[in-house]
A and B are shown apart, each in its own frame.
Chain A
Amino acid sequence: MISNLLNGFVEGDVDLYGINPIDPEDFPKVPKFVGVVLQDPEKQLVMPTPADEVSFTLENLGFTVTRESIMNSLKNVGLESRAYSPTEYLSGGEKKRLCIAASIVHKPKLLIFDEPTANLDPWGVSEVINYIKRLKEEGSSVIVIEHKARHFLPLTDKLMVLINGEQKLNLTKDLISSKYEEVVNTLNNLGVDASKPNLTRRNELYTKPVVITANDLWFRYPSSKEYVLKGVSLTLRKGEVGVVVGRNGSGKSTLLKVLSGLYKPDKGSIKVPSLNGINGKVRKRNLVFYVPQEPDYMFIHNTVLKELQSCSNKSFNFDEVPWVKEVLNESPYKLSHGQRRWLSYLIAKLHSPEVVMFDEPTAGLDIRLLKQFVNWVKDFVSEGKTVLIATHDVRVVCDIATNAFIMSEGTLSQVSVEEARDYLEKPVEVIS
């Protein structure tokens, strides 16, 4: 459908309510019949407030815009009270709902969702799935494109699996409901994330030496009066993989930045026994290294080679990651998404830290890249290093966590890995 914009090339015919979207003449008419909700709300919303966002669609398509029509559409997604507050203050789930409102305000006959659950925490996911369910009940046709099929299976009428552009599987509702288990297995085998994650048990590490302890950390941003961290304490031992789960905006990222010594806590102490040091020193020696969500933030130089050389004097062992050899003189930004992520892990590792902190490392990753990440972490901790991950991805919790924390409104509590999983699963389970 996008061939008209991106200079792509499409062969074949599509019949969409009597028009052919591949034909450049018909293409501008497509929005009249189809509403599309893309993956990341940050890559879709363009107006300063929700009301403008909705009226933008209406004005484009030549409808007369009234306050009433805007409010009705926002009411549908529960955003009427936020109609005139700036878009950037909305939560992830609210932004997603706004995308939906803006794409369906003109009542299109067909709705397309591109990975509606990526980039959302479980609470946001549950909001979106509920909404899709409602749309279906109200009689709209909906196409959902997803890695995580399991949340949608109960709603599905037709299911199709595409691998490398080939249609591998085509199922109908009767088959899905009558042979549910079998379908889930087939999907899993094809690399689609269809089943509930299983917990793999790991050894307890309570006897290992402590790598980092934080005691009663308080932190607030200079621009705000509200504390983001309200007395957080935690201990990590050598070889542990800790996960911090919690809603968007609960303070997970801030905690990682404070622990890495990038922000100074207003109160409390961080101790790294191998250093006998406090706050400032942690960063100087890079014993705790923070890896941001976007790999692009990590790169400084204009070739991969310089990037690697700048991190460490040691010569680099290419056997671990053979592809790096091929791209040494490329700009890091020209690599594929998976390669960029891998390069950012490498950079972190080359700074030879004891602890690496990952902020939402798996948001928007498919199962292949997720496995890559999981394996990297397993290798890394097997060398006696420690990892702390802020995430709301239940797959990460189940696959690698040895130690879990729930962060809620600035306070942290240690829980078992099972509890962390249930905490993330609960909001989504209610629906399916």
Chain B
Amino acid sequence: MIKVRPVTLFIYGLTITVLAFIARSTEQLILLTLINAPLGIYLGFKRLKILIILFLLGLIGLFVNSLIFANSGIAVLDLQFITVREGAITSFSKVTLRLLTILGAALIFVTQINVRDFIKSLEEELRFPKDIAYALSVGLRMLNILERDAKEIQLVRVERGYRKVPLTPADVGSFLRPLLSLGLERAIWIGIATELRGFALRNPKRAEIKVGVLDILLYSLLILQCLAILILA
């Protein structure tokens, strides 16, 4: 199977997100959305349904906010208890398009990438220092372990009659302490083990950036979008 280089995906996703931040006009946003959202949702529908559902739920909140803060202009829809005006609709649709673009870009990235290759390519191709690449791989390895910790902590919290999700600073403190305590205890040993495996001597391998057909396709798509945004501005 042909695969896109992780670096390409990373650059693509990040640039599209930046474009979504910059784009101001509705036309620009529609263009970005039309290219990225359908592709992302198509690729991510199976694995990341929850994220997409969360996104839809978030939109309801956004709409309520736009009714409260941006409800100005001509009345579009008159529901007995509230009048929906043009301002609310346009501002809501703009923000929605922006978020859809970002979601699309992220779904493309996450579904096509292999985390392991990504970290490797950070060090080998993007020439990140070995320190950063190492810290990131520890972070991702620990993430699984800490998620297990978090579940156990939540169980005990329920058992002892406390809130499961930390809502107040006190909750957060009591959630952070065990995570930190266990994390640091592990970190000391991991640090020692790594040093004993010769990390200080490590000379990171640097590789040339290889480009395949798919990479070129994706880069061209990216350049086209950048140009379009400039023209539409």
Contacts and interface: CB of A to CB of B under 8 A. Distances in A.
A and B touch in the complex (CB under 8 A): yes
Interface stretch (A32-40, A145-153, A264-272, A418-426): A32-40
A260 interface: yes
B137 A47 contact: yes
B155 A257 contact: yes
Interface string B133-168: 010011011001100010011011111101000000
Interface string A22-45: 000000101110101011101111
A318 to B, nearest CB: 22
**Residue from B120, B152, B155, B198 with most neighbouring chain A CB atoms (10 Å):** B198
**Residue from A43, A52, A302 with most neighbouring chain B CB atoms (10 Å):** A43
A289 interface: yes
Given A290-B159, A297-B152, A301-B174, A45 B189 contact: no
B156 A297 contact: yes
B203 interface: yes
A301 B156 CA distance: 13
Contacts of B189: 38-40, 43-44
Interface string A219-238: 00000000000000000000
Contacts of A62: 201, 203
Nearest to B116: A48
B177 A333 contact: yes
Chain A: interface residue count, which band? 35 or more
Given A46-B137, A294-B152, A351-B160, A60 B178 contact: no
**Residue from B119, B159, B203 with most neighbouring chain A CB atoms (10 Å):** B159
**Residue from A42, A44, A52, A297 with most neighbouring chain B CB atoms (10 Å):** A297
Contacts of A429: none
B115 A296 contact: no
B186 interface: yes
Given A257-B155, A296-B181, A299-B178, A43 B200 contact: no
A2 B174 CA distance: 32
B197 A56 contact: yes
Interface of B: 115-116, 119-120, 134, 137-138, 140-141, 144-145, 149, 152-153, 155-160, 162, 173-174, 177-178, 181-182, 185-186, 188-205
5 contacts: A6-B188, A31-B197, A47-B137, A103-B197, A294-B182
Given A87-B141, A347-B160, 6 more contacts: A32-B198, A43-B193, A46-B138, A46-B193, A48-B137, A48-B140
